[in-house]
């Protein structure tokens, strides 16, 4: 793969960062796998400088860690790591829903509805993880709070990585999530900020409980 310069207005560092992050989230670069700068440089046809900068960014974001020997490996998240992440999401995404209910535009409300409709299409849900998170992402953007948006964007990426690294969502959980999404949408549409916050918090709590339950089932198999 050759990094394209000039067509997309991104720095080489950003392009390498986006590429490696996507490879980690999708599982093409697996938890515990070592990153070798030379191989990445050959694959992307870039020098080591933007690779090192991208690696530093990914380390800061929680995707990579430095080994005692000075190497770089993809993080192998534990259930405790996932719990800590959920504790952050519980408060921050609930706040995003609260502010989205008060600040969302009609266009954003339509986007939230469209995300639910797309998510309910089984063929798309099973194959496209980007669709699965778009409902939450649009609500986050609708909060109109730039600091909250920035922090939650980072958490959403780490959440996708952690979930796939530990255990992915079972298909039967999709229907349960859709019911929650519908209720949250109704609250945001009605501009009921307190209800939107309460429903989002309950949704995330339920999601975490289902995740832990699914993990236990897989461990017993």
Fold classification of 12-74 (topology level): Arc Repressor Mutant, subunit A (1.10.10)
Q: Residues of CATH 1.20.120.530 domain(s) within the chain?
A: 79-220
Per-residue confidence (pLDDT) for residue 11, from 0 to 100: 83
Q: How many CA atoms lie within 13 A of 220 on its CB side?
A: 6
Distance CA 198, CA 98 (A): 8
For residue 170, the 8-state DSSP code is P
Q: What is the pLDDT of residues 134-177, one digit of tens each?
A: 899 999 999 999 999 999 998 988 988 888 887 765 555 677 78
Q: Residues of CATH 1.10.10.10 domain(s) within the chain?
A: 12-74
Average of per-residue pLDDT across 36-42: 92
Question: In this structure, how many other beta carbons lie within 10 angstroms of the beta carbon of residue 205?
Answer: 13
Per-residue confidence (pLDDT) for residue 170, from 0 to 100: 56
Which H/E stretch holds residue 123? helix 122-127
With contact defined as beta carbons under 8 Å apart, do 72 and 34 qualify? yes
Does the predicted TM-score (pTM) go above 0.85?
Answer: no
Which CATH superfamily hosts domain 79-220? GntR ligand-binding domain-like (1.20.120.530)
Per-residue confidence (pLDDT) for residue 131, from 0 to 100: 52
Is 50 exceeded by the pLDDT of residue 5?
no
First to last CA, the chain: 39
Per-residue confidence (pLDDT) for residue 12, from 0 to 100: 86
| Beta-bridge partners for 121 | none
- Per-residue HEC secondary structure of 44-108 comes to HCCCHHHHHHHHHHHHHCCCEEECCCCCEEECCCCHHHHHHHHHHHHHHHHHHHHHHHHHCCHHH
Q: What is the pLDDT of residues 82-141, one digit of tens each?
A: 899 999 999 999 999 999 999 999 999 999 999 998 877 754 444 445 555 689 999 999
């Amino acid at each position: 793969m050759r990094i394209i310069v000039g067509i997309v207005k991104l720095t080489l560092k950003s392009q390498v960062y986006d590429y490696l992050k996507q490879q980690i989230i999708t599982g093409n670069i697996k938890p515990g796998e070592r990153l070798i700068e030379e191989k990445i440089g050959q694959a992307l046809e870039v020098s080591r400088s933007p690779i090192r900068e991208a690696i530093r960014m990914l380390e800061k974001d929680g995707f990579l860690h430095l080994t005692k020997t000075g190497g770089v490996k993809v993080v192998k998240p534990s259930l405790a790591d996932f719990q800590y992440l959920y504790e952050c999401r519980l408060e921050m995404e609930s706040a995003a829903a609260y502010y989205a209910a008060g600040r969302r535009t009609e266009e954003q409300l339509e986007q939230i509805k469209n995300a639910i409709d797309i998510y309910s299409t089984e063929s798309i849900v099973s194959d496209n993880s980007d669709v699965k998170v778009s409902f939450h992402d649009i609500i986050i953007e609708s909060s109109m709070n730039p600091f909250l948006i920035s922090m939650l964007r980072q958490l959403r990426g780490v959440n996708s990585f952690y979930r796939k690294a530990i255990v992915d969502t079972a298909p039967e959980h999709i229907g349960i999530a859709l019911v929650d999404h519908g209720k949250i949408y109704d609250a945001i549409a009605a501009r009921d900020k307190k209800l939107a916050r309460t429903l989002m918090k309950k949704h995330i709590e339920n999601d975490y409980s289902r995740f832990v339950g699914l993990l236990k089932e897989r461990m017993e198999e």
